[in-house]
Structures are given as structure tokens and as C-alpha cells.
Amino acid sequence: MKISKNKFLSNEGGMWEVLKIALPLILAASAHAVNLLADRIMLAHYSDTAVAGSMAAGLTSFTLSCFFLGIIGYTGTFVAQYFGAGAHDRVGTAVWQGIFLSVLGGCFLASGWFWGGWLFSLFGHDPAVVREEVDYFRLLSLGGILLLLNAAFCAFWGGRGKTGMIMAVNLITTALNVPFNYALIYGHWGCPELGIAGAAWGTNLSALVCSLILAGFFFLPEGSRRHFNTCSKIFDWDLFKRLIRYGLPNGIQFALDLASFNIFIIVLGRYGVTVQAGASIAFGLNSLAFTPMLGIGQTVSILVGQCIGARDIDHAKRSVRSARNLVLIYMALMGMIFVFRPQLVLWGFSTKDPAIIETAKIMLKFISCFLLFDGLFIVYSNAIRAAGDTLFSMIVGTSMAIMMQAMPSIVLGYFKINVWIIWICIVIYIMTAGTVFFLRYRGGKWTRMKVIEESAFEKEKKTA
């Protein structure tokens, strides 16, 4: 059936409904991108070794977090489906299971302080860069629990579509992170000059403030305690097991996808500081395109999850279509900027070594080749996972990441084949991934899935 313009822009799965939820998430994700970019710019002006080390160390730290983030982040799907089904009393309990997992995951991540030096000694990077990588990684490992707790708390608002809170907290975090980094990297305002360690401390301190704000608004309001049981029915073994069942494939895929990408970044480091620093700048700028689209992906998860709970599949399909169109428009715009006007986004690095800037420009052109397919992957992978199709996502997604990204990077890097051949492999991989997940979505299996118990739907019937 052809959707009319009015319906397309209405609240029934149209662009306006998507934008109402997505805009705060886009701003929140963009704030995170600003954090990353600010880190890169400040470290680039501090030293070449600092900016080179920040990419591999930061990505390695985040990759290790991703296993737990994938599971904990899936709490939002449970919240969305419970909320859509009208089982509001189960919302707080679902979030609590994510909190328990955050504590367990945070303990593991903190152990990175002890083995981080050994890990980075295996990468074959320049010794001066390795020292920077180890300092950065160890401190980020200590703050890993804050990243996980923030993901669990955000599920409470995100799953219900109340994304304004997530936006506000992320903007506050950015507003604190930038001056923290400025003071601690360079030693301004009476603070010690810590270099790359200062960037890590700035990240951890701003994340701590974020955790305290989210915890306060989760536990203290009487309405939340009464309607959503945020301070009662804390542990539910059956729900905990279901979160592991559906979230574990999500966490494995998330971690292995990032691990494969991290291998690619590590291999680039073997081609010298110029290539490694250029990649750090290029992917920092790519976050301007990619990170806001994660907000759209989160919106797809929220709307599909709520529609699954409400048993309204047509609404879910309209929401996915609207989100896809928004993603493609934005990605096309960023791709044109990267190809035809890269100076618009490279201005902050104008004082860098010209060879590094030219390398970054070439990398931006490669990135522009896969942006549209990256957008398709974001939308359709989030859509099917929000219904519970996480096992397929894990098996197919990780297989492609390993076979088409990690292994070619390792082999080509080992024989020191031209670095641009590796980039061609990455473009082919992302194009393939976007196409495969689009076809899985079109297959429709996700429309017959759910992650919450059947009794939750009975509550919806009683409410109606």
C-alpha cells in the first residue's frame, strides 16, 4: 500500500515520530562524537605519538567493553517491549538486571590495569606509541564500570522513548569532558600536565558525573518507584536468564565486530606513525557521520520493540522505512563533504604534518564509499535485533567481520601489501553487511519474534 505524505510525516511510524525520539539521541550521540573529536584534536596538538596511541588504545578498551555493553544495552529492548505491552511494573526490574551485569563487567574491565602493558607489547607498534597506548588503556579500564552503568540506566528512558533525558546527560558530559581534557592534557588552570593520561582522566571524571545524575533520577522520583518498580522487585532470575539468552549473542557480535575493526586499526599502525595518525584523524571525523546515525539505530530499536510489545507490526515497518530514509539522506550528505570538501572537517588539524593530512583525506574518500551501506546496516540490524533475532545477527555478522575484515587485514598487513588494498577490503565488507541485513529484514522472520514473557501481553489486555 502506498503511504501518503501525511501518513509518512505523522505519528504513525512516519518521519515525525522517528525524529521526535531520534533527535535527542542524535544530539546525544553527536555529543559523544564531539568528545572523541576534541580528544583527537587536543592530543594531535600535544604530540604525534599521543594522537597515534589514542586510537588503538581507546578502541581496544571500547572493544573489551562491547561484550558487556551488547548484553546490557539489550536491556532497552526488554524495557521497550514491556512498555509497549503495558507491563510497566516490569520496567524497573529489567533495568536492574542490566545494573547487576554492569558491576560484574566492570570488575573484569578494571583488571586491564594489570595486563594492558603485556597486550600492547604484542602489537608491534613504535615503542614511543606503545607507552602512550598503555597509559591511556589502563586508566580507561578503571572507568569501564561507569560506561556499563550508564548504558543500563539509559535503557530506562530509552526503552520508553523518553530520550530527552539521555540527550541532556550526554550534553552535560560533553560540557565537562572538554574542559577536563583541556586542563589535564596541557596542565592548565593549576592542573598537572598529564598528556594522554589527562585525556583518560577527563573521560572518566565526566562519566562519573553522568552516572551520578542518571542514578539519582532513576532511584529518587516517587513516580518511577511507584509505576516502574525502580526500587523493588530488584532481582528476577528468569528475566536475568532471558537477558543473557538474547543479549549474549548481541554482546558477542558487538565485541567481535569491534575486535575485527580493532585488528584493522592495529594493522594500520604497522605501516608507520603517518598512516596510524591519519587513520586516527579520519575515523575521528567519520564519527561525525557514523555516531549520529547510531541515534537513528537506537530509535529503530525503541520503536520496533514497543510495536512488538503492542503487537503492531505495520507500525514497526513504517518506522523502519522512515528511519532508513533519514539515514540515507544524512550519509549521502556526509559522503559528499568527505569527497569534495574535506577541508570543512579537517580545519581543526590544519597545523599537523601535511603528509598526515593528505593520508587522512585519502582515507575519507574510502569511508565515503561505504557510508550508505553502513547506514543500511545500522537500520536493519537494529530492527531485527529489537524483535529478538540476535542469533542470526551474531552468526552472520561476526562471520563477515572475521572473514572479510579481520583476516584480510592480518594477511595483507603481515606481507606489508599496499595499505590501500586493505581499505578496499573494508569497503567490500561493509557493502556486503548492509545488503545481507537488508535481505534478512525483508524475509520477515523478525515479525514473529518477542523476548518478553506471554503474561506481559495479558496485562495489556486487562489494561485495554
At 178, the pLDDT band (50, 70, 90 cuts) reads confident
Q: Which residues contact 266 (CB under 8 A, 6 or more apart)?
A: 56, 123, 125
Round to whole Å and give the CA distance between 146 and 157.
17
> Between 104 and 38, whose confidence is greater?
104
Q: What is the pLDDT of residue 462?
A: 52
Domain ranges within the chain, ordered by starting residue: 5-455
The yes-or-no verdict on residue 457 having pLDDT over 70 is no
Point out the least confidently predicted range of 241-245, 267-271, 447-451.
267-271
Please, how many CA atoms are within 13 Å of residue 85, restricted to the half-sphere of its CB? Answer: 23
What's the pLDDT tens digit per position in 339-383? 998 888 887 775 557 888 899 999 999 999 999 999 999 999 999
Most confident among 95-99, 190-194, 278-282 (mean pLDDT): 95-99
Task: Judge whether residue 10 has pLDDT over 60.
Answer: no
pLDDT band of residue 195 (cuts 50, 70, 90) is confident
Are 296 and 379 within 8 A, CB to CB? Answer: yes
* Total-model pTM: 0.82
Nearest to 440 by CA among 283, 349, 320: 320
User: Does pLDDT of 8 surpass 50?
Assistant: no
Per-residue pLDDT tens digits for 202-239: 888 988 999 999 999 999 888 888 888 888 888 889 99
Percent of the chain with pLDDT over 90: 42
Q: Dump pLDDT digits (tens) for 384-434.
A: 999 999 999 999 999 999 999 999 999 999 888 999 999 999 999 999 999
Alpha-carbon span 27 to 24, nearest angstrom:
5
**Model confidence band, residue 276 (pLDDT cutoffs 50, 70, 90):** confident
Measured distance CA(151)–CA(211) in Å, rounded? 9
In this predicted structure, the answer to whether residue 9 has a pLDDT above a threshold of 70 is no
